[in-house]
Structure 1
Amino acid sequence: MAFPNDNRIILALGAVLAVVAAVVIALIFMGRGGDDEPTTPEERAGLQLDVTEAPDLEPTRELRCFVDGRFVGMATLADCARQNGVATEGLDVGLDETGALAAAPTAQFAPPPEEPPLELTEAQPITPPEVSPVGPAPQPVQAGAPCLRHVGGEWRQLSAGMSQGACVQALFAGTCVRPGDAQYGRWGDLTLRLVPRRVEQSQDNSRFRTLAEQDRNCQFPGLR
């Protein structure tokens, strides 16, 4: 069998073979790289999870479950709620002290304290300052109620009179709590409770309803 003597033909054949080999190698590496990408919603959620989106987790995703303050193992949100005897809405979901996603009944680790003494929650009457006939017009008296914080097993008054929004900001702005934990305050005759992602209020120190949502920076943009 005779081979061509022209070097140009040999170089051209070599170039064609090199291009074909490069294309084949590129296709092999591209195929291998695709295997590392998450292919299911569960895998993507595991990589991109945000605590503020915890209530929208996939139903089959398991997280650390607490019952009566004890870690009882991994469970889905629905299974953890059943073990606690509450609806799924009654669970707080977030990161626990280990940094793992966890669920526990609202305020399980910090139940409401006893109400403060009556003298701390009664607003003192405000007497408008006297002004002379030629003096400046009196400023309107700001309505408000006493604002108290529960810390160290006792109630401490922050202000004798402020608005509810200002009281919530003074008590809880910049503070986030873990699942099942809570912090408490008082505005007039209302109990205020900070739990993961929201602050709640109660007139009977037992049944709470949401007052304001908390953002991922532990702030309350909806309150002024």
Structure 2
Amino acid sequence: MATPPDNRIILAIGAGLAIILAIVLALLFTRGGGSEAPAGPKGNLQVDVAEPESLEPTRQLRCFVEGQFVGMLTLDECARRNGLATEALDVGIDETGELVAAPTASLAPPPTLPPVQVEDVPPVIDSPVEPVDTPSRPGAACLRHTGSDWRSLSSNMGMEACVRALYSGTCVRPGEARYGRWGDMTLRLVPGRVEQSSDNTNFRTLTEQDRRTCTFPELG
């Protein structure tokens, strides 16, 4: 006659099956409901203003011509609309987070030059005293254009010190510019560099700017 199974064995087997079933159900719920990671932020593309060649030729961006937005164009098309070479455009991110291209300082043309201050010159009196050579001034006046007028930062400052006083810690977006004066020289901050002009029209690079720190490593 067969011996009936021990109730304790049956209970142990049942408990083990219940544990296994609970584990399987937990895995199924985890895979079905919570496995998908939340989508990260989109549209956070960052482009170095100094490297427009890294863009894809077919990538469209906001294009400005003579200070006016003309639509979404490729970099080559935007350059043609401006009558410039591709490398003559400043490229970067505008305040809305959109990729934008514009000619250098197209949104901020040079302001009118500050009035020339004429110092009163005393009359020349003949005297037998021999002329004495006087050393030339080590610097010149440094001025900042505020958007409406010119404000003096110093009446006698070196050029490098003037550039740092005007622009250290400041970066501008494509098409924008900040203007200053050092003596008879117009200074202009554009994306990635400071430019200089002796006629307030034709500019050439004075020093490069580090776009990450908005400083001027070349000036020390």
TM-score range, shorter chain: 0.5 to 0.7
Which residue of 39, 46, 51 maps to 2:48? 51
**Which residue identity is paired with 1:69?**
G
Q: Is the 8 A contact 2:50 2:192 kept in 1?
A: no
Using the alignment, how far apart are the partners of 1:210 and 1:53 within structure 2? 13
Secondary structure of the 1:51 match is coil
Q: Distance in 2 between matches of 1:186 and 1:218?
A: 19
Q: 1:196-221, CA deviations, whole angstroms, 9 ceiling, x for partnerless residues?
A: 11110001100001111111211111
- From 206, 214, 217, the counterpart of 2:213: 217
Matching residue of 1:115: 113
TM-score w.r.t. length of structure 2: 0.67
Name the CA distance, whole Å, in 1 between partners of 2:81 and 2:47.
25
Q: Of 70, 73, 76, which aligns to 1:72?
A: 70
Contact 1:184/1:194, CA 8 A, preserved across alignment? yes
Question: Which structure has the larger Rg?
Answer: 2
User: Normalising by the residue count of structure 1, what TM-score does the alignment of the two structures yield?
Assistant: 0.66
The sequence identity of aligned pairs, in percent, is 65
Does 2:175 match 1:180?
Answer: yes
Contact 2:63 2:100 (8 Å CA) reproduced:
yes
When the two structures are aligned, how many residues end up with a matched partner? 161
CA distance, structure 2, for counterparts of residue 92 and residue 163 of structure 1: 29
Counterpart Cα distance in 2 of 1:76 and 1:152? 31
Which structure has greater helix proportion? 1
Q: Distance in 1 between matches of 2:85 and 2:50?
A: 18
- Report the Cα distance in structure 1 between the residues aligned to 2:51 and 2:137, rounded to whole angstroms: 40
SS at match of 2:173: coil
Give the drift of 1:70: 2.4
Instruction: Identify unmatched segments of 5+ residues in structure 2.
Output: 1-42, 120-134
Q: 1:194–1:49: structure 2 CA closer, same or farther, 3 Å change rule?
A: same
Match of 2:217, SS state, is coil
Q: Is the 8 A contact 1:92 1:103 kept in 2?
A: yes
1:4-30 C-alpha deviation (Å, 9 max, x unpaired): xxxxxxxxxxxxxxxxxxxxxxxxxxx
Q: Residue type matched to 2:106 in 1?
A: Q
Q: How large is the Cα RMSD of the aligned pairs?
A: 2.3
1:69-218 map, 5 Å? 69-119=67-117, 143-215=138-210, 216-218=212-214
Q: CA deviation at 1:68?
A: 2.5
Gap regions ≥5 residues in structure 1 = 1-45, 123-139
Closer/same/farther in 2, CA of residues 107 and 52 from structure 1, 3 Å limit: closer
Summarize the Cα distance change of 1:163–1:176 in structure 2 as closer, same or farther, 3 Å threshold. same
Letter in 1 for 2:195: E
Q: Offset of 1:93 from its aligned partner?
A: 1.1
- Could you tell me how far 1:184 is from its partner in structure 2? 0.1
Asked if structure 2 preserves the Cα contact closer than 8 Å seen for 1:174 and 1:218, the reply is yes
CA deviation string 1:58-101 (max 9, x = no partner): 33332211123222222222110111122223311111121121
Counterpart in 1 of 2:18? Answer: none
